[in-house]
């Protein structure tokens, strides 16, 4: 279980694939960690050197106990890659990880070979949103009930009709040895709520794929359309029949779209 000291953090990371392959960095979203890429790492590491890690306040990385921003998380990513000797890589971020990836591409364009933004947004909602609700629920709901609420918002009803999947997800979550404390979840939510790079997306110069589930209600398709309208060299891929967690719900289709894009860049 490798960890590396990066600033004030001990960052948990994994590297998969041959050392001479082109690096591909995976950045996970809110509350998630490396295990969220369970369907991607085995496939992507056949062709790329995959670097995946747990963000601050998630998984096996340090729980920071201080407030921060998405820019802070992007700098964490930069610092990690520098420590690992990665000079340039494909960058893939999902959900909050997509926000981190946007900021990273703006702050460090020289390090981005290509950019993939999955199920993400260019700015946080200023009104009532699931985040504002979740921040209250996580304080009072039993963990199982909180997970059920998240499942309903991140998967399609058709997937949730599969009770074997639902029960397995609940069992895995409740027995997971690295649970995210409520206060860490709230800090991540607070960082998202301050996020807005709308006017800076034009600064992204790397070829960019924006990919989203057709039935995503957390980060709807129109957010992805806006991102594509603002990043000069970008394209949009909509995957039918899936919601926010498209890389878990339709992994084959997601992986194919990503690999097809990477092969061109």
Q: What is the 3-state secondary structure (H, E, C) of 94-126?
A: ECHHHHHHHHHHHHCHHHEEEEEEECCCCECCC
Number of domains comprising the chain:
1
Sign of CA dihedral 26, 230, 238, 159: positive
Q: Which residues pair with 10 in a beta bridge?
A: 5
Quick check: helix, strand or coil at residue 49? strand
Looking at residue 81, its pLDDT comes to 98
Q: Under DSSP, is residue 150 helix (H, G, I), strand (E, B) or coil?
A: helix
Residue 58's SS3 state is coil
Other CB atoms within 10 Å distance of the CB of residue 138:
21
**Is the Cβ–Cβ distance between 231 and 144 less than 8 Å?**
no
pLDDT tens track, the chain, 265 positions: 599 999 889 999 999 999 999 999 999 999 999 999 999 999 999 999 999 999 999 999 999 999 999 999 999 999 999 999 999 999 999 999 999 999 999 999 999 999 999 999 999 988 889 999 999 999 988 888 888 999 999 999 999 999 998 999 888 888 889 999 999 999 999 999 999 999 999 999 999 999 999 999 999 999 999 999 999 999 999 999 999 999 999 999 999 999 999 999 9
pTM, 2 dp: 0.97
User: Which pLDDT score is estimated for 1?
Assistant: 57
Query: What does the pLDDT read at residue 82?
Result: 97
Give the strand order in the sheet containing 9-16.
3-6, 9-16, 49-53, 23-27, 89-94, 112-118, 208-213, 234-239
Strands (E), the chain: 3-6, 9-16, 23-27, 49-53, 89-94, 112-118, 208-213, 234-239
Q: The domain that contains 7 carries what CATH number?
A: 3.40.50.1820
Measured distance CA(248)–CA(115) in Å, rounded: 20
Task: Identify the bridge partners of residue 93 per DSSP, sorted by sequence position.
Answer: 27, 117
- Tokens 């997937």 appear where? 159
What span, in angstroms and rounded, lies between the C-alpha atoms of 58 and 56? Answer: 6
59 contact partners, CB below 8 Å, separation of at least 6? 12, 32, 33, 34, 35, 178, 180
Backbone angles phi, psi at 27, to 5 degrees: -120, 115
Q: Which domain holds residue 34?
A: 3-263
How do strand 49-53 and strand 89-94 relate by DSSP bridges? unpaired
């Amino acid at each position: 279980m490798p960890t590396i000291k990066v600033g004030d953090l001990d960052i948990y990371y994994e590297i998969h694939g041959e050392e001479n392959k082109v690096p591909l960095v995976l950045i996970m979203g809110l509350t998630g960690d490396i295990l969220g890429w369970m369907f991607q790492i085995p496939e992507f590491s056949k062709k790329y050197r995959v670097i995946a890690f747990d963000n601050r306040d998630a998984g096996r990385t340090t729980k920071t106990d201080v407030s921060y921003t998405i820019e802070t998380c992007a700098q964490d990513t930069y610092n990690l890659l520098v420590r690992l000797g990665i000079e340039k890589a494909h960058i893939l971020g999902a959900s909050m990880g997509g926000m981190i990836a946007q900021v990273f591409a703006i702050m460090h364009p020289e390090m981005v070979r290509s950019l993939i933004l999955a199920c993400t947004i260019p700015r946080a909602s200023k009104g009532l949103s699931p985040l504002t609700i979740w921040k209250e629920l996580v304080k009072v709901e039993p963990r199982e009930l909180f997970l059920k609420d998240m499942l309903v918002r991140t998967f399609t009803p058709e997937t949730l009709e599969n009770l074997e999947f639902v029960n397995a997800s609940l069992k895995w979550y409740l027995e997971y040895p690295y649970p995210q404390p409520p206060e860490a979840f709230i800090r991540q939510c607070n960082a998202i709520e301050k996020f807005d790079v709308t006017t800076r997306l034009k600064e992204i110069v790397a070829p960019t794929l924006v990919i989203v589930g057709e039935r995503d209600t957390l980060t709807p398709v129109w957010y992805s359309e806006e991102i594509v309208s603002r990043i000069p060299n970008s394209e949009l891929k909509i995957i039918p029949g899936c919601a926010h967690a498209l890389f878990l719900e339709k992994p084959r289709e997601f992986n194919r779209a990503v690999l097809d894009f990477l092969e061109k860049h």
